[in-house]
Amino acid sequence: MIIILMFRKGVEKMDKKIDCRDLGHDCAFTACAATEAELLEKFQEHGRIVHGMKEFSPDFYSKVQESVREGSCDLEEDSDSCECCC
């Protein structure tokens, strides 16, 4: 079986990113993931562990959704640890 992958020139897969600073924290953490669902999961985990967040309001989800941007991430080097504010 032969599989041929074709890429259009100038088009590349974009990952999803969000910075903790985007939500008003003085924190250098950046979450990066292939999908928005994975990104939200990473961001929530960071909020729980580093910032002691126990609940996430609808306003939180709206701010996260508004702050997500596309970009290239080195997902293989992405780690669960962060060098951040706290």
Digit-coded pLDDT (tens) for 63-84: 889 999 997 776 554 444 444 4
Note the pTM of the prediction, 2 decimals: 0.67
Digit-coded pLDDT (tens) for 8-66: 444 456 789 999 998 888 999 999 998 899 999 999 999 999 999 999 889 988 988 99
Do residues 54 and 46 make contact, with C-beta atoms less than 8 angstroms apart?
no
Q: Is residue 49 within a helix (H) or strand (E), and if so which, with residue range?
A: helix 36-51
Q: What is the pLDDT of residue 78?
A: 44
Q: What is the pLDDT of residue 29?
A: 92
